[in-house]
């Protein structure tokens, strides 16, 4: 036993020495380059939301001489506050926190570290050194709705969604309006999961929607769970966050997707130049931060043409997605003909358009 230990111990020592040769500089040190911290709500392998942000981080590392650190699966509790403090303790001078529920905590921490630049994705609270950033994902969601509206035969689309907050509701409404633009009879049924990240629960919710008659599944979730449900049940699906074609090759048609990299590069450059200012960024298709993933062969034939048309209209500001007349679920006129929702109204949207089945609660 002792001999075995001795052998193993010397083995470790040798391995350590061998590793020393090429692993220099991994320990956080006070070097010149800027350290940027990323906080993720799920694991980077989720194939969705966190994966997309991590792609942005890798893009940042590729294009700039900065050091990035990240932490996965940080819950939306006080733990995020600790994590941010830890990152600053490890030298981070810019922090990107990528989930809505981090809002109150990051707001609090930002006041303790005025010299650090904070960026919060999808929130609405800012401070002197806390900016928010998000994209008009409702634009590509509208486009993905067109694909779903053309594809469905039962005229019933299932939508697996995380929480009834304005961000998610806005997406469901845009998707529904897109589907109705090509298929006025379509209804969109919503199932809440009360989680951003839970592959099993997300999948279950999708299965339930399919059992109720949906033949196209869309999602506002971080994983590919709903895609797998569609794949297994032989129906079609619209993904979210990233191109999910590989996860469900027999179901997936397209997805509204994120492209965070350029924004990260731009902002980190600002931090380096000392020109960082608090802001509320909300870019759209024209800024390239959001887009619609390429259609697969499963998408209906006429979809591409219809999408190109609508996309051009969005780029020319001819199509604003939330332009009247729009009715709510009870049939009340919410947006009059010729009117459209202001940014404020979109950011606080807490009602469903006509054709959505489900409750906000």
Partner 1 sequence: MRMIKRERISKKDAFRIRSTAIIGSLILSGLFIFFLGHNPLDVYLSMAKGAFGSIYRIKDTINIIIPLIMTSLGIMIAFKMKFWNIGGEGQILMGALFASYFALNFSTLPKPILLFVMFIAGFIGGGFWAFIPAFLKVKFQTNETITTLMMNYIALNLITYLQYGPWRDPQSLGFPKIANFADSATLPRLFGIHIGWIITIIAVVVITIFLNKSKFGYEIKVVGESQDTANYSGIRVNRVIIRGLIISGGICGIVGMMEVSGVNGTLTNHVSAGYGYTAIITTWLSGLKPAFIIPVSTLFAGLIKGGGFIQTAYQIPQSAADIIQSMILFFVIGSEFFIQYKIVPDRRNAKGGEVNVS
Q: How far is the CB of 215 from partner 1 (least distance, A)?
A: 29
**Bridge partners (DSSP) listed for residue 220:** 161
By CB under 8 A, is residue 58 in contact with partner 1? no
Residues 332-351 that bind partner 1 (CB under 8 A): 348, 350
The nearer residue to partner 1, 112 or 266, going by C-beta atoms, is 112
CA dist., res. 329 & res. 199, Å (int):
30
Query: Under a CB-based contact definition with an 8 Å cutoff, are residues 43 and 72 in contact?
Result: yes
Bridge partner list, 291? 257
101 forms part of the interface with partner 1 (CB under 8 A): yes
Query: Between residues 65 and 275, which has the closer beta carbon with respect to partner 1?
Result: 65
Dihedral over Cα of 334, 338, 341, 342: its sign: negative
Q: Does 353 bind partner 1 (CB under 8 A)?
A: no
Structure tokens belonging to residue 167: 């961000």
The verdict on 27 binding partner 1 (CB under 8 A) reads: yes
Q: Is 79 in the site for partner 1 (CB under 8 A)?
A: yes
For 156, the token pair is: 């019933």
- Choose one: 63-71, 173-181, 279-287, 301-309; the region binding partner 1 (CB under 8 A): 63-71
71 vs 292: CA distance, rounded Å:
28
For residue 36, give the H/E element and its range: strand 35-39
Q: Does 287 bind partner 1 (CB under 8 A)?
A: no
Q: Are strands 187-192 and 326-327 parallel, antiparallel or unpaired?
A: unpaired
| Of the residues 154, 194, 288, 332, which one makes contact with partner 1 according to CB under 8 A | 194
> In angstroms, what is the minimal distance from the CB of 285 to partner 1?
25
- CA 157 – CA 237 distance, rounded (Å): 9
SS3 of residue 185 by DSSP: coil
| 84 versus 238: smaller Cβ distance to partner 1 | 84
Q: Which is nearer to partner 1, 164 or 324 (CB)?
A: 164
CA-to-CA distance for 192 and 339, rounded, in angstroms? 30
Site residues for partner 1 per CB under 8 A? 1, 5, 8-9, 11-12, 15-16, 19-20, 23, 26-28, 37, 43-44, 69-73, 75-79, 82-83, 85-87, 89-90, 100-101, 104, 163-166, 169, 194, 348, 350, 360
């Amino acid at each position: 036993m002792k001999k075995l230990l001795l052998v193993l111990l010397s083995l470790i020592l040798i391995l350590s020495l061998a590793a020393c040769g090429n692993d220099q500089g991994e320990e956080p040190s006070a070097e010149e380059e800027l350290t940027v911290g990323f906080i993720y709500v799920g694991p980077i392998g989720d194939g969705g939301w966190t994966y997309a942000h991590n792609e942005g981080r890798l893009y940042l590392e590729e294009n700039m001489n900065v050091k990035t650190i990240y932490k996965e699966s940080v819950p939306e509790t006080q733990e995020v506050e600790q994590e941010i403090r830890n990152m600053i303790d490890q030298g981070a001078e810019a922090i990107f926190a990528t989930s809505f529920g981090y809002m109150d905590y990051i707001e609090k921490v930002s006041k303790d570290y005025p010299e650090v630049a904070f960026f919060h994705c999808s929130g609405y609270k800012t401070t002197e050194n806390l900016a928010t950033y998000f994209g008009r994902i409702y634009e590509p969601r509208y486009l993905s709705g067109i694909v779903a509206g053309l594809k469905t035969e039962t005229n019933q689309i299932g939508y697996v969604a995380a929480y009834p907050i304005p961000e998610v509701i806005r997406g469901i409404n845009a998707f529904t309006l897109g589907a109705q633009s090509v298929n006025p009879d379509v209804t969109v049924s919503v199932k809440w999961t009360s989680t951003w990240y839970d592959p099993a629960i997300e999948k279950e919710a999708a299965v339930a929607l399919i059992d109720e008659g949906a033949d196209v599944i869309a999602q506002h979730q971080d994983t590919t769970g709903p895609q797998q449900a569609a794949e297994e049940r032989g129906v079609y699906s619209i993904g979210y966050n990233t191109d999910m074609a590989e996860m469900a090759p027999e179901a997936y048609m397209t997805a509204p997707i994120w492209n965070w990299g350029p924004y990260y590069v731009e902002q980190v450059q600002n931090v380096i130049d000392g020109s960082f200012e608090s802001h509320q960024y909300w870019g759209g298709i024209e800024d390239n931060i959001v887009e619609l993933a390429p259609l697969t062969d499963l998408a209906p034939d006429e979809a591409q043409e219809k999408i190109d048309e609508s996309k051009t209209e969005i780029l020319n500001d001819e199509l604003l997605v939330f332009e009247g007349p729009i009715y709510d679920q009870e049939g009340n006129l919410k947006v009059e003909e010729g009117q459209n929702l202001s940014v404020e109204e979109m950011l606080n949207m807490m009602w469903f358009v006509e054709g959505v089945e489900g409750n906000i609660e």
